[in-house]
Chains A and B, each alone.
Chain A
């Protein structure tokens, strides 16, 4: 079975500061990892994904994430956030041998001026 834990439910940060949103997973099989973003009153859209290869994955809007197999983590980072990054961010995991993607509970990022 797979599970995803997002360690922070809310992260307030000032504009132009760096941010890290934490995600840990558990799985007994090889995993594929995703970060999705949900802006207010919208559906989710993909930020980035890790399928294989380089453990540092770059996505849209200046976000990146690092897959750490030994720590079973996939933390999302951005060196300098903007007001427009205010949104909810979901970490998700899927794996071989199964069909379903499991989503974390979400982290609400508030960027303050």
Chain B
């Protein structure tokens, strides 16, 4: 079991470029999440998908779009990158969307926008 995998691990973009962060889980989980981690701010939820076919905004969705491609995969797209989007991005999944479920995290993507 690979758990939650993310690609790429590192990325450098110029302002205005676009890119897609990929995430996949092999645990047959229903719910998936995208977070960003910034120093001193913990993790902030960008978007989540409670189940296949649904997506919802989190705390900081501006500048991002997501696609729940199937039960396994949940991608995050930056259409026009800005320096404020420099961050570490984590994908996570949980068995279901209930508040008592543990989340399993990927290793992260470190993104720098110049």
Contacts and interface: CB of A to CB of B under 8 A. Distances in A.
B48 A104 contact: no
B41 A101 contact: no
Interface centre among B42, B45, B50 (most CB of A within 10 A): B42
Contacts of A104: 42
Interface residues of B, number: 25
Interface string A26-54: 00000010101000011111100101000
Given A43-B108, A99-B97, A99-B99, A105 B50 contact: no
Nearest to A100: B45
Nearest to A51: B100
Contacts of B99: 32, 94-96, 98-99, 101
8 contacts: A43-B90, A43-B105, A43-B107, A43-B108, A90-B43, A94-B99, A99-B50, A103-B35
Interface of B: 4, 35, 40-45, 48, 50, 56, 58-59, 90, 92, 97, 99-100, 102-108
Interface of A: 4, 9, 32, 34, 36, 41-46, 49, 51, 90, 94-96, 98-101, 103-106
